[in-house]
Amino acid sequence: MNYTQNEKLAQITPETLIIGVDIAKNKHVARAIDDRGFEFGKRINFTNDLEGFEKFLRWAEDHQANHQKTHMVVGMEPTGHYFLSLAYYLESCGHHLVLVNPMHVKRLKEIDDQSPSKNDTKDAMVIAKQVKDGRYSHSNLLEGIYAELREGIKLRDQLVQLKNQADGRVQNWLNRYFPEFEQVFKQWNGESALATLRVFPLPQERIKPRTVLNLAGLAPPSSKLEHPCERKSF
pLDDT of 29-63, one tens digit each?
999 999 999 999 999 999 999 999 999 999 999 99
> Are 150 and 105 contained in the same domain?
no
Domain hosting residue 182, numbered range? 146-230
- Does 1 reside within a domain? no
* Count of structural domains within the chain: 2
- Give me the DSSP letters along 158-184: HHHHHHHHHHHHHHHHHHHH-GGGGGT
> Are 63 and 165 contained in the same domain?
no
- Does 69 reside within a domain? yes
The pTM (predicted TM-score) of the whole model is 0.67
> Are 106 and 203 contained in the same domain?
no
Last residue of a domain, one of 115, 141, 167: 141
Last residue of a domain, one of 89, 123, 141: 141
> Are 30 and 132 contained in the same domain?
yes
What pLDDT is recorded for position 207? 55
Residue ranges in the chain whose pLDDT is less than 70: 1-3, 110-120, 205-234
What pLDDT is recorded for position 14? 93
